[in-house]
Amino acid sequence: MINKKFGFILATAVLSLAACGEEQSTAEDNTEVAVEQESASEKDSTSDEETTSEEEDTSDEETTAETAEEEPMEESAPEAMSGTASDLLSNGEMTSFVFNEAGEFSIFCEPHPVMQMTVVVEEGAELMGEVEVDIADYEFGEETITVAPGTTIVWTNQDQVQHNVAIK
């Protein structure tokens, strides 16, 4: 039980650091960042504007790179099976599962087990291909959803807290 809690806390910390877009590998790196920030604050306002423009350009490039990395994940969604779960999702992050087998799947959030939904997979269902479901206000966007076999459901976390998608 303690190891599971520690793992959750550790995973949350790692994801939080990753969400900031900073690599925190050593104390030396932290010191360099602090020195760079102090230097930037000592420059005059013109230099600050130039620095801000450069930082904005860099963040745009990083966002593009992150988006490109997320797209292949959607194409190769893992198959929905009992006992599987996604990683924890921060705000704006997505995960997906492909539902190939007919049947009923109970979905829940491991950190918040009161969050539940049901995916019904049946031949002839109208929803097929890729279906999007939001996670917001500690709820899945659908209580029950019926999809055709082979449908990929993509969940997007709209909350400021982390959630995941787990299958019972």
HSE (side-chain half, CA atoms, 13 Å) at 76: 4
**3-state DSSP call for residue 155?**
strand
Q: What is the pLDDT of residues 38-78, one digit of tens each?
A: 444 444 444 444 444 444 444 444 444 444 444 434 458 99
Distance of alpha carbon 101 from alpha carbon 126, whole angstroms: 16
* Residue 162, pLDDT score: 98
* Residue 76, pLDDT score: 82
- 4 pLDDT above the threshold of 90: no
How much is the CA Rg of the chain, to the nearest whole Å?
20
How many of the other CB atoms lie within 10 Å of CB of 125? 15
* Residue 75, pLDDT score: 57
How many of the other CB atoms lie within 10 Å of CB of 80? 22
Q: What is the pLDDT of residues 5-35, one digit of tens each?
A: 555 565 555 555 555 543 334 444 444 444 4
Return the closest-CA partner of residue 133 out of 152, 112, 114: 152
* Residue 23, pLDDT score: 39
Q: What is the pLDDT of residues 82-136, one digit of tens each?
A: 999 999 999 999 999 999 999 999 999 999 999 999 999 999 999 999 999 999 9
